[in-house]
Amino acid sequence: MSDYYEILGVPRDASQDQIKKAYRKLARELHPDVAGEAAEDKFKDVSRAYEVLSNPDKRQQYDLGSDPSAAGGGMGGGFGFQDIFETFFGGGQAQSGPIPRARRGQDSLVRLDIDLSEATFGARRELQVDTAVVCGTCSGSCCRPGTSPRTCDVCNGRGTVQRVARSFLGQVMTTAPCAACQGFGTVIPEPCAECAGEGRVRSRRTLTVNVPAGVDTGTRIKLTSQGEVGPAGGPAGDLYVEIRERNHEIFVRRGDDLHCTLQVPMTAAALGTVLELETLDGPQEIDLRPGTQPGQIVTLKNLGVGHLHTGGRGDLNVHVEVQVPTGLDDEQQELLRSLAKARGEERPDPRLSAAHPGVFSRLRDKLSGR
């Protein structure tokens, strides 16, 4: 059984569009009217492969190990006159008139770096962009001032020309864009010197961007019709502003929550205390309960990043890191020994337990130099 995928040069998971494109390319190259009678057998193989693979039912049978073309033969199922016509003459609806010279401009993408505080509360930023604007000299007409486009002498303004093509179907009348005017139906006899007949020039503009609270790296803000002006002063495309958030020196963002580490002395963790913490909202009091343990998290509600679509804010999670004192003098060591004796901890009984996932994340960060 022939390998139809190999004959068409497509992978076994090829889409119908890939199969059709591969067939059209090979059919143009191998048709006997083009390549001569020597290519007739290859053309038949390509046609048979397309007949099977272009039909979902036949393709399924073929993938299961049987060749459906062996039973019926010839061009059937997914192969017909339309496929042949599209292969040689491009298919689709014929162009009914000249192409408009003014076309929509391309969309543009720029990046904007913001701070964590701007992502948290939102911001209003000015942004400079280099883009295409309407030519001030010709106002988008593409012509030197005082002149105008002239009707194309080749196509008489239709934008298309007809020609007779010879194929295996006989003589066929085809329509193609006029090469003299590129399908516009008009030519520019005296192009504008400022824009070289484009109807637009490059310029730098300053735009104001409203950055909503809750944006994150990768968020795109759409500014409608603020992209490039199209050729011949056509409508402007859209401008997309992609956000890139800078890392903060203290706070780490996870979604809309913020995380930070608070280092406290062992005595403060044991006895409890009230500390003042500088947040994005200004100073906030944090209450450490007596017996606060290393790694314990104190959550300050609604002090995180604003929610982008739903309103409200995330939380600020404060991770407590208890500092063990070093460099104790004799008096301090004696005080700790007295405390250990009073608590019966002179010879503590070690207890093993499963490592907390945070241990491994901290170890990974340390090894990676973060």
Binding site for Zn(2+): what residues are annotated? 135, 138, 152, 155, 178, 181, 192, 195
Helices (H) and strands (E) in the chain, counts: 11, 15
Question: Which segments within the chain are labelled E, that is strand?
Answer: 108-114, 123-134, 150-151, 160-167, 170-177, 186-187, 200-211, 220-223, 239-245, 252-254, 257-265, 273-279, 282-288, 297-300, 316-323
For residue 250, the Cα-to-chain-centroid distance in whole angstroms is: 30
Interior CA angle at 273 toward 268 and 274, to 5°? 135
Q: Got the DSSP string for 224-290?
A: TT-SPPBGGGBPP--EEEEEEEPPPSS-EEETTEEEEEEEEEHHHHHH-EEEEEEETTEEEEEEEPT
Annotated binding site: 135, 138, 152, 155, 178, 181, 192, 195
Q: Distance of CA 358 to CAs 31, 249, 294, 297, 362, Å?
A: 68, 20, 12, 12, 6
Other C-beta atoms lying within 10 Å of the C-beta of residue 334: 11
For the beta sheet containing 316-323, the strands, ordered from the edge strand earlier in sequence to the opposite edge, are: 252-254, 257-265, 316-323, 297-300
Which token pair is 168? 């295996």
